[in-house]
Structure 1
Amino acid sequence: MSTTPAGRRNETGIAVDPVLPTIVITREFEAPPARVFRAHTDPGLVVQWLGPRGLRMEIDRYDARTGGSYRYLHRDDDGNEYAFHGVFHEVRPVERIVQTFTYEGMPDSVSLETAVFEDLGGRTRLTATSLMDSVEARDGMIAGGAETGIREGYERLDELFDAGAEAVSAADEHRRVAGTFTARVRGVPAGAWDRPAPCEGWVARDVVRHLVEWFPAFLKTGTGIELPAGPSVDEDPVAAWQVHSDGVQALLDDPATAGRTLSHPQIGDVPLDQAVDRFYTADVFMHTWDLSRATGQDERLDADKCAALLEGMLPMDEVLRGSGQYGPRVEVPESADVQTRLLAFIGRTPSTTRR
């Protein structure tokens, strides 16, 4: 039987079986599968739509990869908290997500949830199936208001898409972020390449060295793709960066990239353009401050980008810190601007930022 039939294509259908302890949810979105999938796996987006209106969501962790885990809570205006956690058993980019789901108010009840993303030619049909312990547990969840939370959550996701969330492609975002970094590379004064950088033990040229060395190895491991190699950073840091950056941009501009997946032992399977955006372009953005600080250039970063990165990284604090890529978190006042808070999160001490 159905509690809410799917009528118009953008209505949420919620069907329950009279015998099996399942809930089957169907919903179509005016967005391609890559965007809908990302909205389900990027904590910076998940926090903006998952759950009913009127509740504030906070994420403790959201490591959406095969073998990862999550925990989040919803809080109402009276301070009541409703916490949930689970494990991602399978995260297959742009195709499906299999995870467990437990409401901590009922810790003995665990459901297995499978979400399938179907390409409708620029649009997406999502089919999400929850298999619960018993029909009684399933009916109790429905009676407790799950239907309202599901429907309102997907309405909020529609609103995110309508507002242009994730409308900027990975290629365009890299073009913008790398363009700013390129300007800083070209703006390094004569003799300044060996000035100390904020990263311990680094000089300015090491900031460029880091970017042109770690990402090609990461990319080759995950895809077999080899980027063009320029001169060494010691010989010509400007040319080394330009050849590398142009190679990444060409990769992102290639229409075939949208259908490729990066597979890496540390992060699992991730759509290639999403992996470049999340792990590499974000790194370029943050290291722009390091190069600017080392060479006396404009240190200002885009505030909206800082806010988006910080929101997405906070739930992954433990994972990011364990990667060894970031130093100990620096404590700053809550009133600090978003750039200062982002830099402090990744271990920088930006107390005397030049403007």
Structure 2
Amino acid sequence: MSTTPTRHRNETGIVVDPALPTIVITREFEAPPERVFRAHTDPDLVAQWLGPRGLTMTIDRYDARTDGSYRYVHADEEGNEYAFHGVFHEVRPAERIVQTFTYEGMPDSVSLETAVFEDLGGRTRLTATSLLDSLESRDGMIASGAETGIREGYERLDAVLDGTQAAEEHRRIAAGFTARVRGAEAGRWDDPAPCEGWVARDVVRHLVEWFPGFLKTGAGIELPEGPSVDDDPVAAWQVHNDAVQSLLDDPATAGRTLSHPQTGDLPLAQAIDRFYTSDVFMHTWDLARATGQDEHLDPAKCAALLAGMLPMDEVLRGSGHYGPRVEVPESADVQTRLLAFTGRTP
């Protein structure tokens, strides 16, 4: 037996002790413990990542609480089924899960599994320890291809976490835009907006009109339509925003792809985060300025967007989405520099 070293932070490390019937797995994830824990306890999410590629998972029960139990069945393309069950001995939110694990094809072999979620400041280190009843059982598990299944499962978990991260980011960013929509005085919806030729309601119109078409063309998904922005911009935005959030919150979104000639194929949640949520963030400032509300944007988000845009200056400028860069002092705050880069006058 051997030890698999971790060469970089997101590689799965698997340690097999030659003297003890244990398997110790370490893996870091680009998500806080609360979300990694949820992906281990929400059956809708568990079904999307647990186990190797090529298997489908059917959950009979998954009661992830202290004294709860679980049973699920993996099936391959030939129809072969592999069932597993166990009991949760301790479930401590975002910290620790202790459970038993039994493969029903070997009912006399039971392992005790402990998963510990360590907070790395917005990231998570997961340490999962399996204690089997004998060295023979442990070696048999490894020989059956467990290492491949573990690694592929965690790669699939990365994709699930990308989706839940996109959902939370949209919830946060859209809340800021929603606050400006609801805070706009009725008489200001036709006031000029920073975008040339637009008034305040056109900022909302842009978001509720371009994205549904992008989504339908690239992913075959149709969002429900709300009232006209001309009749009721607040309701138009709310219907649209609720639909986008519901899509991101849907566990099935993690398995969907968006295809576009200019971007190729991307996981749907990643595409929404990259192209749409960022657009909502930028237009929050436009609506705030048009309607005389708070123009402050999250500095960390501003910095992340600016860092991603700077290397693409020529491409972005040539796309026609941004006007000429506005000159501001190098000492200006990051929001000012981001707005100026996109052609807005801070």
Match of 1:225 in 2: 221
Match of 2:304 in 1: 308
From 276, 282, 288, the equivalent of 2:278 is 282
**1:299 alignment partner AA:** E
Whether contact under 8 Å (2:11, 2:28) holds in the other structure is: no
Match of 2:151 in 1: 120
Against the structure 1 CA distance between its residues 122 and 239, is the aligned structure 2 distance closer, same or farther, given a 3 Å change threshold?
A: same
What displacement does 1:122 show?
4.8
The separation in 1 between residues aligned to 2:324 and 2:233, in whole angstroms, is 29
What displacement does 1:190 show?
2.2
Say yes or no: does 1:28 pair with 2:12: yes
Against the structure 1 CA distance between its residues 277 and 118, is the aligned structure 2 distance closer, same or farther, given a 3 Å change threshold?
A: farther
What displacement does 1:7 show?
4.2
Say yes or no: does 1:292 pair with 2:288: yes
Q: What is the CA RMSD across the aligned residues, in angstroms?
A: 2.9
The separation in 2 between residues aligned to 1:216 and 1:224, in whole angstroms, is 10
Match of 1:349 in 2: 345
The separation in 1 between residues aligned to 2:255 and 2:173, in whole angstroms, is 23
Match of 1:195 in 2: 191
Whether contact under 8 Å (2:299, 2:335) holds in the other structure is: yes
Tell me the SS of whatever aligns to 1:319.
Answer: helix
**1:120 alignment partner AA:** R
Match of 1:210 in 2: 206
Tell me the SS of whatever aligns to 2:215.
Answer: helix
The separation in 2 between residues aligned to 1:242 and 1:277, in whole angstroms, is 18
The separation in 2 between residues aligned to 1:279 and 1:272, in whole angstroms, is 11
Say yes or no: does 1:273 pair with 2:269: yes
Say yes or no: does 1:242 pair with 2:200: no
List aligned pairs for 1:1-355, cutoff 5 A: 7-11=3-7, 27-28=11-12, 30-31=27-28, 120=151, 122-124=153-155, 169-350=165-346
What displacement does 1:118 show?
9.1
Number of corresponding residues? 213
The separation in 2 between residues aligned to 1:253 and 1:295, in whole angstroms, is 31
**2:239 alignment partner AA:** V
Deviations 1:95-153 (A, max 9, x none): xxxxxxxxxxxxxxxxxxxxxx997355239xxxxxxxxxxxxxxxxxxxxxxxxxxxx
- The runs of at least 4 aligned residues of structure 1 exceeding 3 Å deviation read 26-29, 31-34, 165-168
The separation in 2 between residues aligned to 1:27 and 1:245, in whole angstroms, is 36
**2:291 alignment partner AA:** T
What displacement does 1:32 show?
6.5
**Structure 1 segments unaligned to the other structure (5+ residues):** 1-5, 13-25, 35-116, 126-160, 351-355
Tell me the SS of whatever aligns to 1:275.
Answer: helix
The separation in 1 between residues aligned to 2:273 and 2:149, in whole angstroms, is 23
**2:12 alignment partner AA:** E
Tell me the SS of whatever aligns to 1:241.
Answer: helix
Deviations 1:78-105 (A, max 9, x none): xxxxxxxxxxxxxxxxxxxxxxxxxxxx
The separation in 2 between residues aligned to 1:33 and 1:349, in whole angstroms, is 35
